Chains A and B, each alone.
Chain A
Amino acid sequence: MTEAMTHNIENRDEFNVEINGTVGKPLIDDPKFTTRNVDVHYGDKQAIFGVDLDVGKNEVLAMIGPSGCGKSTYLRCLNRMNDTIPICKVTGDFKLDGEDIYAKNQDPVLLRSRVGIVFQKPNPFPKSIYDNVAYGARLHGLTSNRAELDDLVEKSLIRAGLFKEVKDDLHKPGTGLSGGQQQRLCIARTIAVDPEVILMDEPTSALDPIATALIEELMIELSGKYTIAIVTHSMQQAARVSSRTAYFHMGKLVEVNDTDSVFTNPEHQLTENYITGRFG
């Protein structure tokens, strides 16, 4: 959102709604992730203000909100991807299965093998399809021989819904696939490591509607086995795939609720403004 737009919105009374804490149900019983008092700064600029949010086991949590609202930043805190950005400073309590993931003795490398991430733009490595999927398994020594690795690669590709299309081309470069296929390859690569949580940062925003539909089906399927947190700009997508939806605005968590109630009966004025398309 450009500065002019922000300015414009702030000047209009209907959007000038004070955000006092989060409405809805940000905290749940038996969570996978618990996060409390999350603040994120990029240099001098604060990007996230005091977010409290839980992610449930085997649920799909969608995060929506206008550009620059902090939803991607929050997502990247969950597997400490923000550590790779030098000016980014994250504070707050993050617990995965009750374990503090920002503790001093916690290794972000191990954490990321438990919490995988799929990015907005498909980023297959400049290697063959096979090597792309086998990459994580080889790093972590998940298989002990070639047959097991073959098996793992095949299974991951099947689960990502890509195997039929590429089974004869496993040793061709992953970068030669179409955008949608590349994104499914990245998902296959992520689930080959067998993570507990998969984070998705606008995974379909670079794809056409058919590829998007395939990936959405895949997310619903995967939610049986994995906990999924997805950032999306498409409210239809959030409505289709998620069980809970969190609405972020200007770095604050405004509302969290069951997806149905967020889209049919939003509690907060800002959420309503956003989902009815009055801005964003």
Chain B
Amino acid sequence: MQTHIIIITLLALLAFSYFTGRKRSIATASLSKGRYNLHSRPQYYGMMVVLWAGLPALLILFLWTAFDSTVVSALTVSQLPEDVQALSEGKLSLFMNEVKNIVDSGNVSDDTNKQIAAEHYKRLSEISLLAKTVVVFVIAVLIILVALRSIKPTLQARNHVERVMTWLMIACASIAILTTVGIVFSVIFEAIQFFKAVPVTEFLFGTHWSPQTAIRADQVGGSGSFGAIPLFVGTLLISLIALTIAVPLGLMSAIYLSEYASARFRAFAKPMLEILAGIPTVVYGFFAALTVAPFIRSFGESIGLEPSSESALAAGIVMGVMIIPFVSSLSDDVISAVPQAMRDGSYGMGATKSETITQVVIPAALPGIVGGVLLAASRAIGETMIVVMAAGLAANLTVNPLEAVTTVTVQIVTLLTGDQEFDSPKTLAAFALGLGLFMVTLILNIISLHVVRKYREQYD
């Protein structure tokens, strides 16, 4: 039986066992005063049978499928002639790949060794599949039978089900955490490789970024310099410009929408604002490169400046517009959630509407507003497309918004999209940059969490 057929059959079996368990619990119960004398409601008994039988069966099925080909390959290799087994690791795995190809395609190979191995592999696979089917169903059916027999009115089925559910939820939460940990470690290991080639101090404090290195030893090429300061300064510059645009605009529109606008206007304007967040960043990139950047250039020239045609300002402004909804929409929600009693208290003491908003409503909503701004900041720091299109790739160390700059994320993209060996410093630099960016956002998050918590402790 194929794996997917096993799964479907198993699920059908489990569904059947649910209804059987449910029915059996009612059958074992007796009515007293119009109620069954069951500890739990009937569906919990069905659910308990399903969980007890389903989880182990599915787990075995999953593990068997995951390790199936490894075990079968190892068994096949152990049956190979000694001269083949003596091959180096790389050649042996190449040999086995060919064997698997023969099995998959059904072709006949002229190499006797491979042909024999292929037949052996095929036989073992068939045995494995059969064994898997039998084991899974025997286990499932056995547990179902045991579980069904154990159903009696005093069985605490709800407690059993809830305990299993708690563990399932813990497992789900752990997957998210483990994934994060995994990503961090994979970045750290590659970054360590990079720091073997380039000293940490050069990366952290170097002011020159030019990651061109020779691909082969006989090639002439740049020696490569990996000072990340210009990239982080560029990221910071563009993010700051974006936030300078987005925070006032977003906050003001949130205040207008929640405090002044009529309900009808709000119902119309809020979704319109949120559409801004749904525009693909590439489209923002066009807008920045084709409309905003030339405008800044001609405007700058008209007042006697010499802006470059790709500038941090153009990218920052457009990015600022992009992240307005993050600030406005979240702030609007938290401002609207401030209780009316708070406003009434302020009005009742002779405060004006604007005094009430600035001194009572905004402070009460501040944790949420900070959250919105942070979300916007992390979007700005991580944004790539707009910067590529509007701010250029030149790693200039400058705080002049009219010059071309580049950001960490843009460099990561350019480093990894070239034809490069994966262990050259140029490619590995991407991971070091990723690690640096991760650290920066982590520190930002910690600071803001701290600020919000301090505020809450004081005023909640």
Known contacts A125-B364, A126-B459: does B341 contact A110 (CB below 8 Å)? no
A116 touching B348 by the CB < 8 A rule?
yes
Known: A127-B363, A135-B359. A193 touches B345 (CB 8 A): no
Q: Is A84 touching B343 in the complex (CB atoms < 8 A)?
A: yes
Render A100-117 as a binary contact track against B, CB cut-off 8 A, 1 for contact.
Answer: 000000000111111011
Q: Do A136 and B364 touch across chains, with their CB atoms under 8 A apart?
A: no
Contact string against A for B residues 334-350, beta-carbon threshold 8 Å, 1 for contact and 0 otherwise: 00000101111111111
The interface residues of chain A lying within 8 Å CB-to-CB of B347 are 81, 84, 112
Q: By the criterion CB–CB under 8 Å, are A126 and B351 in contact?
A: no
Cβ of B162 under 8 Å from chain A: no
Cβ B346 vs Cβ A117 within 8 A: no
Interface string of A117-140 (1 = CB under 8 A from B): 111010111111000000110011
Task: Find the residue from A123, A127, A128 having the highest chain B CB count within 10 A.
Answer: A123
What is the total of A-B residue contacts with beta carbons within 8 Å? 76
Q: Contacts A84-B347, A109-B350, A139-B355 known; A123 to B342 CB distance under 8 Å?
A: yes
Picked from A113, A121, A126, A127, the residue with its CB within 8 Å of the CB of B349 is A113
A228 to chain B, nearest CB (A): 14
24 example contacts (A-B, Cβ-Cβ < 8 A) are as follows A79-B348, A81-B344, A81-B347, A81-B348, A84-B343, A109-B350, A110-B350, A112-B349, A117-B344, A119-B348, A121-B341, A124-B345, A125-B345, A125-B360, A126-B360, A126-B460, A127-B363, A135-B346, A135-B349, A136-B351, A139-B351, A139-B355, A190-B348, A193-B349
Task: Give Cα distance in the complex from A119 to B345, angstroms.
Answer: 8
Range class of the A interface residue count: 20 to 34
* Other A-B pairs beyond A116-B348, A119-B345, A190-B348, 19, CB < 8 Å: A79-B348, A81-B344, A81-B348, A112-B349, A112-B350, A113-B350, A114-B350, A117-B344, A119-B344, A119-B348, A123-B339, A125-B360, A126-B363, A127-B459, A139-B350, A139-B351, A139-B355, A189-B345, A193-B349
User: Interface SS of chain B: helix, strand, loop or mixed?
Assistant: helix
Complex Cα distance, B339 from A186, in Å, reads 16
In chain B, residues 342-378, which have Cβ atoms closer than 8 Å to a Cβ of chain A?
Answer: 342-352, 355, 359-360, 363-364
Is A175 positioned at the interface, with any CB of B under 8 Å from its CB?
yes
Task: Decide yes or no whether B201 CB sits under 8 A from chain A.
Answer: no
> Do B460 and A175 touch across chains, with their CB atoms under 8 A apart?
yes
Complex Cα spacing A119 to B344, Å: 9
Q: How far apart are the CA atoms of A165 and B350 in the complex, in Å?
A: 27
C-alpha spacing A193/B355, complex, angstroms: 15
**Is A173 an interface position by the 8 A CB rule?**
yes
Residues 127-175 (chain A) with a chain B CB within 8 angstroms: 127-128, 135-136, 139-140, 173, 175
Q: Chain A residues with Cβ under 8 A from B349's Cβ?
A: 112-113, 116, 135-136, 139, 189-190, 193
Minimum Cβ distance to chain A for residue B199 (Å) = 50
Residue of A nearest to B339 (CB): A123
Closest to B359 in A: A135
Binding site for B on A (CB under 8 A): 79, 81, 84, 109-114, 116-119, 121, 123-128, 135-136, 139-140, 173, 175, 186, 189-190, 193
Contact A193 B350, beta carbon cutoff 8 Å = yes
Q: Nearest Cβ in chain A — how far from B14, in angstroms?
A: 49
Roughly how many angstroms separate A135 CA and B364 CA in the complex, as a whole number? 14
CB contacts (< 8 Å) of A110 on chain B: these are: 350
A125 CA to B339 CA in the complex, in Å?
A: 11
**A123-B342, A125-B346, A186-B345 known; A109+B459 contact, CB < 8 A:** no
By a CB distance below 8 angstroms, the chain A residues around B341 are 119, 121, 123
Write out the residue numbers on chain A whose beta carbons fall within 8 Å of the beta carbon of B360.
Answer: 125-126
Distance in angstroms from B360 CB to nearest chain A CB is: 5
A93→B349 CA distance, assembly (Å):
23
CB distance from B283 to the nearest CB of A (A): 39
Cβ of B302 under 8 Å from chain A: no
A126: chain B residues at CB < 8 Å are 342, 360, 363-364, 459-460
For residue A186, which residues in chain B have a CB less than 8 angstroms away from its CB? 345
Closest to A110 in B: B350
The CA of A140 and the CA of B355, in the complex, are separated in Å by 11
Of B342, B352, B458, B460, the contact of A109 (CB 8 Å cutoff): B352
Q: Which residue of B lies closest to A114 (CB)?
A: B350
- In Å, the complex CA distance between A135 and B346 comes to 9
Q: Whole-angstrom distance from the CB of B339 to the nearest CB of chain A?
A: 7
For A114, the chain B residues whose CB sits under 8 A away are 350
- Most interface-central of B343, B360, B459 (chain A CB within 10 A): B459
Chain A residues, Cβ within 8 Å of B359 = 135, 139
Bound complex: CA of A121 vs CA of B345, how far in Å?
A: 10
CB-CB under 8 A for A123 and B344, given A135-B359, A139-B355, A173-B459: yes
Task: Give the distance in Å from the alpha carbon of A117 to the alpha carbon of B355 in the complex.
Answer: 18
Q: How far is the CB of B102 from chain A (nearest CB, A)?
A: 73
Can you name the residue of chain B whose Cβ is closest to the Cβ of A125?
B360
Per-residue CB contact flags for chain B residues 440-460 toward chain A (1 = under 8 Å, else 0) read 000000000000000000111
Bound CA–CA A112/B359 (angstroms)? 17
Report yes or no: B350 in contact with A173, Cβ–Cβ below 8 A: no
Q: Which residues of B contact A123 (CB under 8 A)?
A: 339, 341-342, 344-345
* A117 (CB) vs chain B CBs: closest residue: B348
* Also in contact, A175 and B459, with CB within 8 A (given A110-B350, A113-B350, A126-B363): yes
Distance of A189 Cα from B364 Cα, bound (Å): 18
Chain A residues lying within 8 Å of B460, measured Cβ to Cβ, are 126, 173, 175
Closest to B364 in A: A126
